[in-house]
């Protein structure tokens, strides 16, 4: 909203990050809005203001200091914040989200400056709607909610996990142009099992162990129903819930609410897009691939489920497709003969001799693609990577665990230990690697390529449910955006500076799936781009 179109004037405008332009207010605006004398006299363009921002940003000595600096900018001048991020995507997206957001969450109670979002706690049962009603915006369209139990690969960070929904919603705006006034981060604080936090006098969250069972479920139910009542158009994104809740909450609510789980479905779609691109490099169709996952939680089975759906669309049976997906968990290869398997692993428990570890599984199964979603730093050891290279002319290695400290291997390790033959993607960004006279540009299997565009497409259609077919379409649209020149450098995802074009294409793919629900919905990437929030002072959005 343009400040000149509101009744708010003076200091109220300067204290409202959505309206504040700081020294960017024109002479006419300063008179009309009673700002004369409240800001320094010289008028600066947004571009000139950005120069000052970049100069101060450059003085920061660490990524966490850069994160704090950008968060402070977001808290005082939203348009300048988003304009700066959009103009410096490669450099700044890793600061406002992965990998830096992991460190920010660990230190959240130390670096806390200004509250952003809503905290719904276990003590609020029976009054959740009242708390949601305290949010100042009525037209909420995207909600990201976490309970903080499995923040990235860092584990239970309790209320410190609020940094995740805040960061995710910033990416909705940066990548898909969702107006920030439509975004609501929610921390569902039911306690924590992190003893360091429980014993920390500065911890911001409930100082108690986690509520589980019926009490937990009742609070989630109340939250979902209250959101549907107060914000009926909102998309609900579940984020960083532990496996014990992630899968079952998605299954419980996916047919009752406009919701999805990014760790399951977003990760699956970006991984499928990477597989499509890697298959082009290999010259091997996806129906002939054999995939081995290190990690057997919701991310692994979510990727496997979507891969199976994609293979079925390519013409093979679901049973044959599942037999191309294998899991290794903390006990070894997931096979039918193992007792006590969790229900989500059973579809991928095949007839095979038990193999005790990842290296044995690689040698025994001879996979074409190795995917890490384990949170185990360095789990793709030199023998594992060398074995993949011995088996495959172009081994595909996806080390998807976040943050960087939890990655199964680095890009340099993948390239060097496969003698430059690996097709690599990480969950976090890695710098280009020089090896044997070649420059390799590692891909980043970042959900940022998927969830913002999915959200934009769902909002454009008014679809009341978010389906797996939408994520299939999103993966295909992302893969189609990867050019032959990208593949030639080993890049299996497009450059981040193309993210708004990618999100527009993803949104158009989602619309084509959901079109029957809204025949008037825009259907092309160009139409999707026209819907996007542009963070310029000259724009009234």
Can you give 109-122 as a three-state secondary structure string? HHHCCCCCCEEEEH
Active site annotation includes 537: no
Label residue 139 exposed, middle or buried (CB < 10 Å: 0-12, 13-18, 19+): exposed
What pLDDT is stored for residue 1 in this prediction?
A: 41
Within a 10 A sphere around the Cβ of 400, how many other Cβ atoms? 31
Query: What burial letters (b/e) apply to 69-85, b meaning 16+ CB within 10 Å?
Result: bbbebbeebbbbbbbbb
What pLDDT is stored for residue 541 in this prediction?
A: 67
User: What is the DSSP code (8-state) at residue 263?
Assistant: I
The full DSSP string for 342-409 is -TTTGGG-BSS----SHHHHHHHH--SEEEE-S--TT-S-HHHHHHHHHH-SS-EEEE--SSGGG-SS
- Look-up of token digits 């910033």: 170
Q: In order of start, what are the domains of the chain with their CATH numbers?
A: 3-96 (1.20.1370.30), 100-257 (3.40.50.10380), 265-445 (3.40.50.720), 449-530 (3.40.50.10380)
- Look-up of token digits 């081995």: 292
Q: Are 447 and 266 in contact (CB under 8 A)?
A: yes
- Look-up of token digits 């959900």: 447
Sheet of strand 325-329, all strands in order from the earlier edge strand to the far edge: 332-333, 325-329, 291-294, 369-372, 396-399, 423-426, 443-444
Rg of the chain (C-alpha set): 23
Which tokens go with 209? 């162990």
Question: ∠ at Cα 220 (217, 222), nearest 5°?
Answer: 110
75, 244, 277, 366, 440 from 44: Cα distances, Å? 19, 52, 45, 61, 41
Angle between helices 298-313 and 243-253 (to 10 degrees): 50
The string of pLDDT tens digits covering residues 225-245 is 999 999 999 999 999 999 999
Closest among 389, 503, 394, 527 to 452, alpha carbons compared: 503
The string of pLDDT tens digits covering residues 185-227 is 999 999 999 999 999 999 999 999 999 999 999 999 999 999 9
The string of pLDDT tens digits covering residues 426-456 is 998 999 999 999 999 999 999 999 999 999 9
- Look-up of token digits 């679901």: 318
pTM of the model: 0.94
Q: Are 474 and 509 in contact (CB under 8 A)?
A: yes
What pLDDT is stored for residue 514 in this prediction?
A: 86
Which bin fits 148, alpha (ψ -120 to 50), beta or left (φ > 0)? left
Q: Are 241 and 149 in contact (CB under 8 A)?
A: yes
Half-sphere exposure of 513 (CA within 13 A, CB side): 23
Mean pLDDT for all residues in the chain: 95
Per DSSP, what are the bridge partners of residue 325?
Answer: 291
Low-confidence ranges of the chain (pLDDT < 70): 1-6, 516-521, 541
Cis bond upstream, residue 95 (ω within 30): no
From the candidates 67, 82, 97, 172, give the one annotated as an active-site residue: 97
From the candidates 21, 79, 141, 168, give the one annotated as an active-site residue: 168
188, 386, 408, 410 from 382: Cα distances, Å? 41, 6, 11, 11
What pLDDT is stored for residue 520 in this prediction?
A: 60
């Amino acid at each position: 909203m343009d400040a000149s179109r509101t009744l708010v004037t003076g200091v109220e405008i300067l204290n409202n990050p959505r309206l504040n332009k700081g020294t960017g207010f024109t002479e006419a605006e300063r008179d009309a809005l009673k700002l004369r004398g409240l800001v320094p006299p010289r008028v600066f363009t947004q571009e000139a203001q950005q120069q000052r921002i970049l100069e101060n940003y450059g003085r920061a000595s660490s990524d966490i200091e850069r994160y704090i600096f950008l968060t402070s900018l977001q808290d005082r001048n939203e348009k300048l914040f988003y304009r700066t991020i959009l103009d410096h995507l490669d450099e700044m997206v890793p600061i406002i989200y992965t990998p830096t957001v992991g460190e920010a969450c660990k230190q959240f109670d130390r670096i806390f400056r200004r509250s952003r979002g809503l905290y719904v706690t276990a003590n609020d049962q029976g009054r959740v709607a009242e708390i949601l009603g305290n949010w100042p915006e009525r037209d909420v369209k995207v909600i990201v909610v976490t309970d903080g139990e499995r923040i990235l690969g860092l584990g239970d960070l309790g209320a410190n996990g609020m940094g995740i929904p805040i960061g995710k919603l910033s990416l909705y705006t940066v990548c898909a142009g969702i107006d920030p006034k439509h975004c609501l981060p929610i921390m569902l604080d039911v306690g924590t099992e992190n003893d360091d936090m429980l014993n920390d006098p500065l911890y911001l969250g409930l100082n108690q162990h986690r509520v589980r069972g019926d009490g937990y479920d009742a609070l989630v139910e109340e939250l979902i129903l209250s959101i549907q009542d107060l914000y009926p158009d909102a998309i609900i994104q579940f984020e960083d819930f532990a496996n014990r809740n992630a899968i079952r909450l998605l299954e419980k609510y996916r047919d009752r609410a406009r919701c999805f789980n990014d760790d399951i479905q977003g990760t699956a779609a970006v991984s499928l897009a990477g597989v499509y691109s890697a298959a082009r490099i290999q010259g091997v169709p996806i129906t002939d691939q054999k995939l081995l996952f290190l990690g057997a939680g919701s991310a692994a089975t979510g990727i496997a489920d979507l891969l199976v759906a994609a293979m079925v669309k390519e013409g093979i049976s679901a049973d044959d497709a599942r037999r191309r997906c294998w899991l290794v968990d903390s006990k070894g290869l997931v096979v039918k003969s193992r007792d006590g398997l969790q229900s989500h692993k059973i579809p991928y428990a095949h007839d095979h001799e038990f193999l005790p570890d990842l290296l044995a599984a690689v040698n025994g199964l001879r996979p074409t693609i190795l995917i890490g979603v384990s949170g185990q730093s360095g789990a793709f050891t030199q023998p594992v990577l060398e074995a993949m290279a011995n088996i495959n002319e172009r081994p595909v290695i996806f080390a998807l665990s976040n943050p960087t400290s939890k990655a199964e291997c680095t890009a340099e390790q993948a390239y060097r230990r496969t003698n430059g033959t690996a097709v690599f993607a990480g969950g976090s960004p890695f710098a280009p690697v020089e090896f044997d006279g070649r420059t390799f540009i590692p891909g980043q299997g970042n959900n940022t390529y998927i969830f913002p565009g999915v959200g934009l497409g769902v909002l454009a259609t008014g679809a009341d449910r978010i389906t797996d077919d939408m994520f299939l379409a999103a993966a295909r649209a992302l893969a189609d955006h990867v050019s032959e020149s990208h593949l030639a450098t080993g890049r299996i995802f497009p450059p981040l500076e193309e993210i708004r074009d990618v999100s527009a294409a993803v949104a158009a793919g989602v619309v084509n799936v959901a079109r029957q629900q809204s025949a008037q919905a825009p259907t092309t990437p160009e139409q999707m781009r026209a819907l996007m929030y542009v963070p310029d002072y000259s724009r009234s959005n």
